[in-house]
Amino acid sequence: MEQLKEYVKRVEQIFDGERLFDKPEPLKGVRVLEVCYVVLGPACCDYLAEFGAEVIKFEGQRGDQMRFVTPYAYFWKNMSPGLEIQNHNKYWVGMHLGNPKAKELFLDLVKKSDVVVDNLTPGRMAAWGLSYPELSKINPRIIQLHVSGYGSWGPWTGRTSYDAVAQSMGGLSWITGFADRGPIKSGVWIADWITALMCAIAIVNALNYRERTGRGQFIDYMQVENVIRFLDWTWLYTYLTGNDRPRSGNRDLAICPSDLFDCEDGWVALAAFTEEEFKGLCTAMNRMDLFEKFADPVVRLREENAATILKAIDEWTRTKKVAEVEALGQEYGFAAAHVITAKDAYHSPHFLKRQTIQEFEDAVYGTIREECYPPRMSETPSRLKWACRPLGFDNRFVLMTMLGLSDTEIKKLQEEGVIFQWNPDIPSHCPPPDWDGKSGLKLP
């Protein structure tokens, strides 16, 4: 135990949260042009931005749909939490790429950029003359990622997809839930978030390839394929046996015991896979007869054996408080943890200590505290620098600093409707009501 404490102390010093903003960003110098809406595409670019990429987000006049998608119709200082959570550290430009002049500006930016990401309907970018062959002609090093529900080719290409649809079409909803009830979708947009993270990994892979060859490439990411891939052993099992994976509630079909159990004052997640862990659990329960019969992890997986074990644990936990089971887990070497609420997790001192939850001062919205992407990296950590922005908030900064346009040229583009800012009649487009007109604006 003392050795572990010493190790924890050394590692904590390496990851010193007080020095977060003194450390370099791993993707600094990588410029990403984001033509994305809702969650899937923006979350991919959000991940890149939190690790230092310069992300420029383009919105049409209606704005990203997430400006209107918010829990219980709740807005904070005109901001939708649904927009904020996947849109940190970005520059915001109001410009519709279907406009010929907007397209010219975009292509000028492509010449100076590394990555283009879109999650529009397949073929939409091509219809605007912004397909990968066209972009790569003016910048052979450009990487373009298109992500959509069903991909850019195949019988289902062009179908509308959202997270719930992707969970269903990938088989996730069917295997989720209890055997005697219908399928259930995840309570969060899991197909969006996991696919977004994998898209970011694909972009980093492509950047690495370009570093070695000088060549960019086109990446086509299908959201439903990603759902299929993260269903662990399900697909191989179906292929080998011809059987569907059944719904099994909270029970893990490949590890026994691994389940959620009811206690006197809450729920506990409990798992004991190895022979040693299971022996510890049986000792804590004073049920060594279970260990004598079911020490072998594979023997435990047989249906009748698993039912016996899980029933015994359920009866035992119902006589205990959650803290008692957790303490016994620590003492005897099996995994046990309180099933906590989202609010509990948010306020957890463990996550605060690790900078999972970061507090930052935003120039437009004030003090905000949110979760920041893992992994925690000792030399190049992720960080939250600023929040989402009103529509077109950074038009002037982007066009002046990155394309060298003058104030006169920018004003003309605005008069012609090529670029635009928030509609004052739509609050979720706008800055907070008490915004002073200058805070948060980047200076050219």
Residues 26, 52 contacting (CB under 8 angstroms): yes
| Beta bridge mates, 58 | 93
Q: Rounded to whole angstroms, how far apart are CA atoms 221 and 340?
A: 34
Cis peptide before 257 (omega within 30 of 0): yes
22, HSE (Cβ side, Cα atoms, 13 Å): 7
Residues 333, 275 contacting (CB under 8 angstroms): no
| Closest residue by Cα to residue 276 from 323, 234, 332, 327 | 332
| Closest residue by Cα to residue 197 from 226, 220, 169 | 226
DSSP 173-230: HHHSS-TTS-----SS-HHHHHHHHHHHHHHHHHHHHHHHHS---EEEEEHHHHHHHT
DSSP 257-269: SEEEEEETTEEEE
Amino acid (1-letter code) at residue 187: G
Q: Which of 163, 192, 259, 394 is catalytic?
A: 192
Beta strand extents in 313-365 (DSSP E only): 335-338, 357-362
| Closest residue by Cα to residue 185 from 200, 158, 163 | 163
Q: Which two tokens stand for residue 113?
A: 């950029």
Cis peptide before 155 (omega within 30 of 0): no
Q: Buried b / exposed e across 265-281, counting CB within 10 Å, b at 16+?
A: eebbbbbbbeeebbbbb
Q: Is 114 a catalytic residue?
A: no
Q: What is the largest CA-CA distance in the chain?
A: 84
Residues known to be catalytic = 192
